[in-house]
Amino acid sequence: MSLGKNKLINNAINRSYALIDYNIHNDIHKRNEFQKQTILDDESLTENEKSEAIKIITKYYDYAKLVFNEGTKRICENCNRECLATTYCEICVRNYLKANFSNWTSGNDIIDNLIQECQMKTIAPYLIPEWILYSNLQNIEYLTKGGFSEIYTAGWVDGRYEEWDSKEQQLKRSGSHDVILKRLENVENANQSWIEEAKSHLNISNKWNEIVQCYGLTQDPSNGDYMLIMNKYEIDLRKYLQQNHNQLTWKERIQIITDITTALESIHGETAIHRDLHSGNILFKRGRFDISDLGFCGPADKSLKSIYGNLPYIAPE
């Protein structure tokens, strides 16, 4: 789970998870109530920190209810339909996005339909892929060449969607933050198989916390190339191990393995495969490793039966 920047709060939340007895707290609601009580009883936190911790727990309670489609439903006071989330209505969020379809276009029906279909499966306000105007990106700088695509860093002026304002009935943005841009090739000639793959991976990265989030797509006006916009992380596993290998405890090593296997379980649970997994695609941020580059960053018109991957990591056969 990606938490906040306050280590005391993060540690308290992690303790509340570790103390759960799944035989007693055998559903999402019971586990959430237990965690809240554990936080309230935690003497290491101030009252403000307890409130912040419970806010984070509630956020992930809603997330879990939507991901696993379980828990008590309620009637939304706005749309009068049943919804699972407690701090927002997933139906209202999707209706808001649908009403906004006519206000944007990529200029490419394939991309428009791809994003719209993914938005109609939105499970949380902060997990929404969208079409992002290139003019909303600033300080774009070339970073490296990775696998099939050139990679850049940039600042996203408005930032991603962050939360649902129930009073105003609209999505609120996070404000400016850094992102990664990955250039795509030959999207205009994309075949149906690539489109299905792209749809699958956009959905996966905006569903599972263990997968690096893809915020959406943009287009470079200088050459017409489409680009993925991704969450920016601190460092990849290869460089992390080079810098920290001698200092890592066994507990930390096991946690890295746990992070990777949990992310792979999420991918495989969606009947998908990665096709290019290596230490450069396992990224670290805020105490956790997530998996990036879910395999459709290759040329869009390239057969899915083609060989994918970086040469040093491809099996010799």
Residue-averaged pLDDT of the chain: 88
Maximum pairwise Cα distance, the chain = 60
pLDDT, tens only, 236-280:
999 999 999 999 999 999 999 999 999 999 989 888 888 788 998
Same domain membership, residue 224 and residue 263: no
Decide if 143 is inside a domain: yes
Domain carrying residue 63: 7-72
102 domain-assigned: no
Residue 218 shares a structural domain with residue 239? no
Q: Closest Cα partner for 277 from 262, 266, 264?
A: 264
- Is residue 287 situated within a structural domain? yes
Same domain for 198 and 133? yes
Do 194 and 128 share a structural domain?
yes
Looking at the structure, do residues 253 and 142 belong to the same domain, yes or no?
Answer: no
State the pLDDT at residue 181. 95
Residue 302 or residue 30, greater confidence: 30
Does residue 218 share a domain with residue 152? yes
Residue 254 confidence (pLDDT) = 94
**What's at 39, amino acid-wise?**
I
Q: Are residues 246 and 223 in the same domain?
A: no
- CATH number of the domain bearing residue 295: 1.10.510.10
Structural domain count of the chain: 3
- The pLDDT tens digits of the residues spanning 218-231 come to 999 998 888 889 99
Give the pLDDT confidence score for residue 185 in this predicted structure: 72
Domain boundary among 231, 265, 285: 231
Give percent above pLDDT 70 in the chain: 87
Do residue 252 and residue 225 come from a single domain? no
Share of the chain above pLDDT 90, in %: 67
| The domain boundary residue, chosen from 213, 231, 249 | 231
Please name the residues in contact with 274: beta carbons below 8 A apart, sequence gap of 6 or more. 264, 267, 281, 291, 293, 294, 295
More confident site: 4 or 212: 212
Give the start-end residues of each E strand in 46-176.
74-75, 82-83, 130-131, 137-146, 149-156, 161-165, 170-173
How distant, in Å, are the alpha carbons of 125, 163, 261 from that of 174? 11, 8, 30
Residue 97 has pLDDT above 80, yes or no: yes
Residue where a domain stops, chosen among 208, 231, 254: 231
The answer to whether residue 167 sits within a structural domain is yes
57 and 152 fall within a common domain = no
Same domain membership, residue 264 and residue 194: no
Q: What is the pLDDT of residues 45-74, one digit of tens each?
A: 999 999 999 999 999 999 999 999 999 999
Q: Which of 57-61, 88-92, 186-190 is the least confident region?
A: 186-190
Tell me what the mean pLDDT of segment 177-197 comes to: 75
CATH number of the domain that 121 lies in?
3.30.200.20
pTM of this structure: 0.84
Looking at the structure, do residues 272 and 211 belong to the same domain, yes or no? no
pLDDT confidence bin for 300, thresholds 50/70/90: very low
Using 50, 70 and 90 to split pLDDT, how confident is the model at 4?
low
Task: Give the tokens for residue 177.
Answer: 């933050």
Whether 98 is in a domain gets the answer: no
Whether residue 148 is contained in a domain is answered as: yes
- List pLDDT tens digits, range 104-157: 999 989 889 999 999 999 999 999 999 999 999 999 999 988 666 789 999 999
Q: Is the pLDDT of residue 305 over 70?
A: no
- Nearest Cα residue to 232 out of 152, 162, 175: 152
Residues 179 and 269 in one domain: no
pLDDT of residue 192: 67
In a domain, 99, yes or no: no
Q: What is residue 297's predicted lDDT score, i.e. its pLDDT? A: 45
Token pair listed for 301: 């018109």
- Tokens coding 86: 């407690």
Residue 2 maps to a domain = no
